[in-house]
Amino acid sequence: MKTPESHIIVIFGASGDLTKRKLIPALYQLYINHLLPDNFAILGTSRTSLTDQEFRVRISEFLPLSDESNSLFLNNIYYQTIDYELNDDYAKLKWRLDELRLKHNILANYLFYLSTPPDLYDVIPEKLAFANLNFQTDGFKRIIIEKPFGNSLQSAKKLNISLLKNYEENQIYRIDHYLGKETVQNLMVTRFANGIFEPIWNRNFIGRVEITSAESLGVEGRGGYYDHSGAMRDMVQNHILQMVGLVAMEPPVVIDADAIRHEVLKVFQSLRPIKPEDIPKQVIRGQYTTSKIKGVSVAGYREEQGVDPASHTETYVAMKFFIDNWRWAGVPFFIRTGKKLPTRVTEIVIEFKPTPHHLFEKSAFHINQANQLIIRIQPDEGILLKFAMKEPGAGFKVNQVNMDFHYSDLAEVLLPSAYERLLLDCLFGDATLYSRGDTVEAAWEFIQPILDSWSNEPAIPIYGYPAGTWGPHESDGLIEGETNWRFPCKNLADDGLYCEL
C-alpha cells in the first residue's frame, strides 16, 4: 500500500487532551497498519516543561499496553518546550527539526498541527514563517488548524488574511473531523455512483432534507468555553453546513479537492438569507433545563460550572432554510443540533415526495408514509431505506419496512477513524475533506445575521427544554404538514415517536 514521503509531524498544544485522546491514537493506528513511512518522527510542543521520556510516558497510557509496536512507535516521538510568543523558541524548534531529520534520515517535509486555543491560530503560523518554516523549496510545509475557524464572519476573514500573508491556500488545512467519517464520504458515492439515486436527487422527487446531530452529554466541565460559543458556532457553522454542502452539491467534474470544494462553495452561495423578521420563525434556539433522566437529577445548563446564571447561550438550534438554485428550489432543509438530547446520533434524512394518489389503506403506517433514505454518520454507521410493502393476508394493507446496511457487517474491512483518514490525507497533500477559506467565509455569511439578531434583539426567545428530551416543542412548528422530525435511536433501524436511551 502506498505511504507518504518521510516527514515530521509537529503537534502544537501536545500536552492537551486532543493530542492524547485523538491524534496520538490515530497516528499509532496508521503506524501499525503500515500507512506511515519507515522514516518519520512526531514532535510534540507546548508550554509545559517535559523531557522526551516524560512525554512518552504521558501518552503511552492511550496506547495498547501489551502491543510490541508500542515501544517502537514511541521511539519516534519527541518533545520540545516552547513559548508560542517567542521568536527565539521557533529558531530552537527549527534546529530540533534539523536534528531529527538527520537522526531519522527524513526529508524536510513538515506537518504542523495546531491543537491549541484559537487565539494562537494566527500567532504560530506567523512565528513559523519568521523562522523560514513556511517555504516549500526543500519539502512540503502544511498547517492543520482545528475548529473553530473564527467566531464570527469578521474574525474568520481576518484569520484568512493573516494566514495567506505567509502561506499558499494549498498549505492550509482547516480540519472538520465530521468530514473524515466514512459515512460522510460515502454520501458522495451513494449519490454519484448509483443510477437509482442521482436522477431523483432534486426538487421533483425530494420533499425535504433533514439533518440531526444530537448529543446526550451536556457541556461536561466546558461551561466557561461553551458559554462564549453555543450550538450555532460549535456545530451549525461548520459540521452541519458542511454536510448540507455534500448533500446539495452538484456532481463535480472529477473527484478532486478543488472540484468538490468548488461545488460546496456554490451551495453556500445559494443559501437563501433568512430575513431578520423571519429569524424567530425559522430559527429556534433552546437551552436545557433541570430534569430527571432514568431517575437521576440532571442540572440545567445555567447551573453548570462556568456558565452565567443568566446565560442566553443556546444549547439547541433547529432551523428551516432554502437553497435557491435549479436543483433545490422550494425544497425545505431542516437541521437541528443540541446537547442533553435523548441519544448521541448524527444522521441525514432524505425524504421523498409521496405518490400522487393513495390507492392503498394507510392506517398501518408507523409514523411517516413517505419513503426515506437515512444516512447514519454515527453511531451504528450505515444506510437505511424506508419504503412501503403489503402486509401478509387479505386486502392491501400497507406497512413501512426497512432495508438497511451497517458498516459493522464489514468485519474484515479496516474502518479508519476520522482523524486517521484526515491526517493521512494531509500527508498525501489531499485537501478534499478539508474546508477551504472561501467556503468557511461563505458559511459564516449565512450564519452571522442570525447571531447578530440574537445579540441585538433580546426579545427573541430562547426556549427551555428538559434535559433528556428532543428539544423545545416549538421546533416542531418548523415542519409543516402531517409529518414531524424523525426521532432516531442508537441503533439505525430502530425509531419511533420517542427514543430515550
Catalytic residues: 239
Q: How far apart are CA 275 and CA 421, in angstroms?
A: 39
Instruction: Please list, in sequence order, all residues whose beta carbon lies within 8 angstroms of the beta carbon of residue 75, skipping any fewer than 6 positions away.
Output: none
Encoded amino acid at 491, one letter: N
The DSSP secondary structure of 218-238, one letter per residue, reads --TT-HHHHTTTHHIIIIIII
> Grid coordinates representing 415?
474502518
Q: How far apart are CA 499 and CA 501, in angstroms?
A: 6
List the beta strands (DSSP E) in 310-381.
Answer: 316-321, 333-338, 345-352, 372-378
How big is the chain by its Cα radius of gyration, in Å?
A: 24
H or E segment and range at residue 443: helix 437-456
Q: How far apart are CA 331 and CA 247, in angstroms?
A: 13
- Residue ranges of the alpha helices (H) in 61-174? 68-74, 87-104, 123-130, 153-164
**402 contacts 384 by C-beta, under 8 angstroms:** yes
**353 contacts 365 by C-beta, under 8 angstroms:** no
Instruction: Please list, in sequence order, all residues whose beta carbon lies within 8 angstroms of the beta carbon of residue 298, skipping any fewer than 6 positions away.
Output: 218, 290, 291, 292, 340, 467, 468
Q: How far apart are CA 344 and CA 399, in angstroms?
A: 28
**495 contacts 485 by C-beta, under 8 angstroms:** no
Beta carbons within 10 angstroms of residue 436's beta carbon: 22
Q: How far apart are CA 346 and CA 181, in angstroms?
A: 11
Helix, strand, coil in percent for the chain, rounding step 5: 35, 20, 40
The DSSP secondary structure of 445-498, one letter per residue, reads HHHHHHHHHHHH-TTS--EEEETTSSS-GGGGGGS-SS-----B-SSTT-B-S-
Strand 172-174 with 206-214, pairing? unpaired
Encoded amino acid at 240, one letter: I
